[in-house]
Structure 1
């Protein structure tokens, strides 16, 4: 996931509930070099791990094996020892790095994880993998680019009042404030016998909008959906 946390986000009041409070004691960790993200994650209840110590000079395949160990998987088996339920690995935190190199590394990392999750294996039946990519710094002037708004046909503008508010703009029946309708984070997921396959072939906004199987979801609801897939939260809306 490539992006930056603004100073305003970092200075917000701590949340009333941490992740373990919200999601049945869920143990979550994050690996990042971004100082703002480290501070924010600690407030949310994440265990903040040192990214450099894990990556070192190792290949993406080696790092993938180490990440699986954090989740309780080793050599294709499920470990009985203490482990995390959820691990976030933040790529692209260093501004000096080349974007193409970050994307190439992530592609190799995902390949390393998937090579260990062969169909029918213990890992395959227990692993959930989400890949999240963002546009980095997004300005208000970019609102015309990559818009997720469903525009009503101008010829039928008199029907615009009947067009319902989208669920991602609501929370508890009340419209959310400061919803960004453009440059969304893009998410691809894999979980054996759980996630559905759509017709998107490229990790791009246009392909997701035209061929993707899912619509827009707020970031906090996305986290709830992950917790649900890990048996740590009820289904949203249930």
Structure 2
């Protein structure tokens, strides 16, 4: 158990999980040093637009899916507005101060209603076509959490989310956009890790989470990226097969669990997070060697808030 609360940086690579390859050495290095696993999502509506998918999945990550649904139904009565205030992050997590960086206007609007400070990428971050510039941007992100010049100072925010993906970096064709986003995420991880070397003041307080989603589900994803334990449903032993924890909410089975295409997550705070046997940032390696297995995505923020001393422990 840490003797001081963490300050959390969450890099959220929207739709980037399927495009990681062996050249992304900094993401793989993080996976080999950290604690890895999956965040399961609910089934997605077939009618979702890309913008709706982005906001919906982020809402799940914040355990704010019901709030998202209420907002989607354009409820403007006083009860709905009071409920929205109750669901804000400061109200739910002991005054938590949170910020988000994104170029997606819908995501920024939704986050602001949940109490996030929305920051403009263009104001904080400049061009990022060189490793040196990415390192500067890593420093700027860490400053938001009170990590400055190798020291820990009074912080502006407890947690900062950086949304990367959905074509925020390049105005070009889809393959070039995705390649630029993945390369950027890989370089940014390197810049952050360089500032949080073991034994440093920053490493003792920074809780880094890298979350990569699959984005839109493709036809064969249910077989390629399944997290479900397989067993013979016709066997008389099938009734003895326990429900996996990610399919449950308390003692009640979840009705809309998607058993494939989860978010991939690697987390690191030196001396606090455990180390598992994963060596690569990949679905296959996380499934075989990850220590965090699969948890519902709506539990993610509760786990992070616990590290910030803003929530009680969830689970074991």
TM-score (norm 2): 0.69
Which stretches in structure 1 are left out of the alignment for 5+ residues? none
Shift of 1:35: 1.9
Q: 1:28 aligns with which of 88, 98, 106?
A: 98
Runs of 4+ in 1 over 4 A off after TM superposition: none
3-state DSSP class of the match of 2:206?
A: coil
Q: Map 1:20-169 onto structure 2 (within 5 A).
A: 20-58=90-128, 59-80=133-154, 82-94=155-167, 96=172, 97-138=176-217, 142-153=221-232, 157-169=235-247
* 1:181 pairs with 2:193: no
Question: CA separation in 2, counterparts of 1:94 and 1:103?
Answer: 11
* Structure 2 spans left out of the alignment, 5+ residues: 1-12, 16-49, 60-67, 72-83
Give the direction of change, closer, same or farther, for the CA distance of 1:37–1:207 in structure 2 (3 Å limit): same
1:141 shift after superposition: 6.3
Residue number in structure 1 paired with 2:20: none
Q: Give the whole-Å Cα distance in 1 for the aligned partners of 2:107 and 2:259.
A: 23
Hey, what's the Cα distance between the residues in 1 that align with 2:217 and 2:110?
19
Cα distance in 2 for partners of 1:166, 1:57 equals 44
Of residues 12, 15, 20, the one that matches 2:69 is 12
CA contact (8 A) 2:213 2:262 kept: yes
Distance 1:5 1:150 in 2: 32
8 Å contact kept, 2:247–2:257: yes
Q: Which residue of structure 1 aligns with residue 14 of structure 2?
A: 2
Q: Distance in 1 between matches of 2:277 and 2:315?
A: 27
Does the 8 A contact of 2:150 with 2:200 survive in 1?
yes
What does residue range 151-230 of structure 1 map to in structure 2 within 5 Å? Answer: 151-153=230-232, 157-230=235-308
**Counterpart Cα distance in 1 of 2:162 and 2:109:** 15
Deviation at 1:100, TM superposition (A): 2.2
Query: Which protein, 1 or 2, shows the higher relative CO under an 8 Å CA cutoff with sep ≥ 6?
Result: 2
Q: How many angstroms apart in 1 are the aligned matches of 2:204 and 2:109?
A: 33
Query: For residues 176 and 140 of structure 1, what CA distance do their matches in structure 2 show?
Result: 23
The 8 Å contact of residues 89 and 115 in structure 2, kept in 1 or not, is answered as yes
Instruction: Tell me the distance in 2 between the aligned counterparts of 1:170 and 1:20.
Output: 27
Q: Residues 197 and 203 of structure 2 are in contact (CA less than 8 Å); yes or no, is this contact kept in structure 1?
A: yes
Change (3 A) 1:121 1:51: same
CA distance in 2, matches of 1:176, 1:20: 27
CA contact (8 A) 1:33 1:94 kept: no
Q: Deviations 1:197-224 (Å, cap 9, x if unpaired)?
A: 2221211111110111111111120111
Give the 3-state SS of the residue equivalent to 2:189 in structure 1. helix
| Contact 1:34–1:94 (Cα < 8 Å) also in 2 | no
Q: CA RMSD in A?
A: 2.2
